Amino acid sequence: MTANRRIVFLIGLLLAGSPAGAWAAGNSANGEKLFKKCAACHSVAPGKKKVGPSLHGVLGRTAGSAEGYRYSKAMTAYGRSGIVWDADTLDVYLEAPRKVVKGTKMSFPGFKKAQDRADVIAFLKQYSE
Contact residues for ligand HEC, defined by CB under 6 A: 37-38, 40-42, 51-53, 55, 58, 61, 63-64, 66, 71-72, 74-75, 85, 90, 94, 104-108, 120
Q: Which is nearer to ligand HEC, 17 or 68 (CB)?
A: 68
Report the nearest approach of ligand HEC to the CB of residue 57 (Å): 9
Cβ atoms within 10 Å of 113's Cβ, excluding its own: 13
Q: Which is nearer to ligand HEC, 7 or 25 (CB)?
A: 25
Report the nearest approach of ligand HEC to the CB of residue 20 (Å): 18
- DSSP readout, 57-119? T-TTSBTT--TT----HHHHHHHHTT-B-SHHHHHHHHH-HHHHSTT-S-------SHHHHHH
C-beta separation of 47 from 54 below 8 A: yes
Q: Which is nearer to ligand HEC, 5 or 39 (CB)?
A: 39
